[in-house]
Chain A
Amino acid sequence: MTDDVLLDVRKVRKHFGGFAALNDVTLQVRRGERFGLIGPNGSGKTTLINCISGTLRTDGGHVVFEGRDITGLPAHRRTRLGIARSFQIPKPFASMTVLENLEIPLEYAAAGRSHSGDAADEAREILRLMGLDAKSDVVTAGLTQIDLRKLELARAMAARPKLLISDEAMAGLSAAEVDEILTILFELKGRGITVIMIEHIMRAVMRFSERVAVLDAGEKIAEGPPEEVVSNKAVERAYLGD
């Protein structure tokens, strides 16, 4: 079966001093897939995302995107190739308005990929999708937590990515807010964007993901359809302990 593999993570290793954060992690994400990444706190999920997006340099292994080895590329190049991410703790451009926040990736990351029309128009369209368009001229320093999370996703979208990685966008939100984010993520998939979702909120992961991978202590311990993974003994042990 030759599915179109968009992201190929091959035996990625990362250590901090003596501590091995990632140990030979291998996984593949197919184009158009809804992929979930779960694991207990400290298992290395965000580190893995950092290695994929380029924020961190790997200490071994390769990251291959659309058949191209991007392991040595700086983060901004990878974004231009089509990988975008949101941050677990939102990192907005605090002195800019919501709209201006989106104009940065539109100007810098998306420029290569064709699109007709004005950058500001496209930014507003994304904000409308997110329900943020009423606040497009608000300076981000004054936004609520859920709005900041939405802004993170909106900004990642504005990079016109082929792969969007959402890092715990739902953490600490109410049930209604979680559903809002979930709707947005489904909409992304509807636009042909491959999504990797990192979450702790199980019902969201179960509803959203077509396949799930589980990390524990820097290693991948399970992978497969959500129902399978959730009933996996090793996964249970990782979360609940022996």
Chain B
Amino acid sequence: MLDLFVNAIVAGVFLGGFYAAVTLGITVAFGLLNVVNIAHPAFVILGSYAAYVANASFGADPVLTGLVCAPLFFLIGVVVYRVYYASFEKTGEESLRGLVFFFGIVFIIEVGLLIQYGVDYRLVEASYLGKSIQLGPVGVAFRLLIPCAVAVALTAGLSLFLSRTFFGRAIKAVAQDAEALRLMGADPVRIKDIAFGLSIATASLAGALLIMIGPVEPSMNREYIGRVFAVAVLGGMGSTGGTLLAAVILGVAESLTATFYGPSWAVAVSFGILLLALAVRPAGLFGR
């Protein structure tokens, strides 16, 4: 019993680390730019399929594919944001229309993948994925460990970028004071372009990590929508450190639920956490 418990917690921690990678894009897009990109998980799945295709065709390593495709995803993000900004943000219609816009994109991506690849689960193969390592009493599979490690590295990298570079700090500032940015000679819209492009670029890598953890099929994006927003809210909307902590909390909660109540209920956990966070502490754990 204790064994089960400890295993669940450890698995949850690593899963949570991965959830942070998936959520980072939302931390930037929603937390900092206030763009409700519900299509973010769909882009993540797109990244998963990119990794799958590269792996099936060339035996390419998924993490490598994720990194290589990131610039392309960045460009897609910039284009999407340009359309979003011109159509909705400029006119102040972003609440209803913007949401519907991203919903349409979810559909286009999900159904597009369905048409191209069907409903079957896809996975990647890499030599190290089958192995596992013993950490004391607990065995941890590499397929969980590696994605978590990469996710933590990504979180740290993004955190440094946001706090140490000009663009990063501009991104943090743009939501709060676009006027001040203009006075400093920076174009707020360009900054937001870059920020949103960056958020989609993270989806490329996150998608690669996702397909390493387990098989992927197009409709999975929907269960992640609840997760990423739960993590984003709990983590304080725009705080990378908060995202990581909140993601781990969600991962552990889901893992425990799955172990003791069955995997199908794990999906409800994120929903519950989101509602709870919004009701009790809308500013999140690290929130402003």
Contacts and interface: CB of A to CB of B under 8 A. Distances in A.
A190 interface: no
A17 B283 CA distance: 9
A17 B288 CA distance: 7
Interface in B254-288: 283, 287-288
Contacts of B283: 17
Nearest to A19: B288
A230 B238 CA distance: 43
Nearest to A16: B288
Contacts of A17: 283, 287-288
Interface string A8-23: 0000000001000000
A194 B171 CA distance: 46
A17 B236 CA distance: 12
Contacts, number: 3
A17 B237 CA distance: 14
Dominant SS among interface residues on chain A:
loop
Interface residues of B, number: 3
Interface in A72-116: none
Nearest to B283: A17
B102 to A, nearest CB: 23
A17 B286 CA distance: 11
Contacts of B288: 17
A15 to B, nearest CB: 12
A27 B200 CA distance: 52
Contacts of B287: 17
B236 to A, nearest CB: 11
Nearest to A17: B288
A116 B185 CA distance: 59
B217 to A, nearest CB: 42
A70 to B, nearest CB: 24
B188 to A, nearest CB: 19
A17 B281 CA distance: 11
A133 B288 CA distance: 45
Nearest to B287: A17
A21 to B, nearest CB: 14
Interface in A1-57: 17
A18 to B, nearest CB: 10
A17 B287 CA distance: 9
A237 B83 CA distance: 49
A180 to B, nearest CB: 28
A160 to B, nearest CB: 30
A17 B284 CA distance: 12
Nearest to B288: A17
A170 to B, nearest CB: 22
Interface string B215-227: 0000000000000
B285 to A, nearest CB: 13
B178 to A, nearest CB: 16
B110 to A, nearest CB: 33
Nearest to B92: A94
Interface in A128-184: none
A17 B282 CA distance: 11
A91 to B, nearest CB: 12
B282 to A, nearest CB: 12
Nearest to A18: B288
A157 B196 CA distance: 44
A230 B288 CA distance: 37
A107 B171 CA distance: 45
A40 to B, nearest CB: 19
A134 to B, nearest CB: 27
B172 to A, nearest CB: 16
B266 to A, nearest CB: 33
Nearest to A94: B92
A188 B28 CA distance: 48
A146 to B, nearest CB: 21
3 contacts: A17-B283, A17-B287, A17-B288
3 closest residue pairs by CB, A with B? A17-B288, A17-B283, A17-B287
